[in-house]
Amino acid sequence: MDNGAGSYRRFLAGDDNGIVEIIRDYKDGLILYLNGITGDICLAEELMEDTFFKIVTKKPKFSGKCSFKTWLYAIGRNAAIDGLRRRSRISSVSADECYDLSDEENIEQEYLREEQKITLHKALQRLNPDYRQVLYLVFFEQFSNAETAEIMHKNKRQIENLLYRAKQALKEELGKEGFSYEII
């Protein structure tokens, strides 16, 4: 049984510790994923909160057709899309005003401890958003191609093609910095 699914079932049954466990286990990865979509760490943190708020208040049904993490990230992705739409309509504050680089560095340094991983992360930021998203989901969050396809609302073949092109683009970006990429 997926640990997140078990915690969610306990939460639905009235055990508030279930949601606490879910937030503890998934919030950092979800923030980084949402930051990859939005390019704004402050907005990513807000969207992470919106995602968990939606789960707590609306208590959507988890069918178990995919892993709990896949389901949660799909909710987060939908919240990001909605948030970006809202912001594009009422954008009165520039991204630079709410973007605090020290916040991102603190999260990145916890999540990406070694210097090579930081270089890799910076190269990912220069990629096309779809490339960045597919690489993050498959390699950092270790979702399968099928789970990634479900999160990104694409079919498995599209994900395979997107993943191939994303890896090629990442190799090119890393090559510009003299990075060794035998593993990619």
Q: Is the pLDDT of residue 126 over 70?
A: yes
Give the tens place of pLDDT for each residue, 69-82: 999 999 999 988 88
User: For the residues 23-47, what does the mean pLDDT come to?
Assistant: 90
Torsion of CA 174, 31, 39, 139, to 10 degrees: 30
Selected residue with higher pLDDT from 58 and 92: 58
pLDDT, mean of residues 14-37: 91
pLDDT confidence of residue 125: 83
Contact of 164 with 178, CB cutoff 8 Å: no
Domains of the chain plus CATH, in order, are: 1-111 (1.10.1740.10), 113-179 (1.10.10.10)
- The mean pLDDT of the chain is 82
What is the structure's pLDDT at 112? 43
Q: What's the pTM? A: 0.62
* pLDDT higher than 60, residue 182: no
Average pLDDT over residues 34-59: 90
pLDDT at 98 (0 to 100): 52
The confidence band for 114, taking pLDDT boundaries of 50, 70 and 90, is low
pLDDT value of position 102: 56
Alpha-carbon separation of residue 120 from 40, 99, 140 (angstroms): 18, 21, 11
Q: How confident is the model at residue 158 (pLDDT cuts 50, 70, 90)?
A: very high
Structure confidence at residue 3 (pLDDT) = 73
The answer for residues whose C-beta is within 8 angstroms of residue 127's C-beta and 6 or more apart is 135, 166, 169, 170, 173
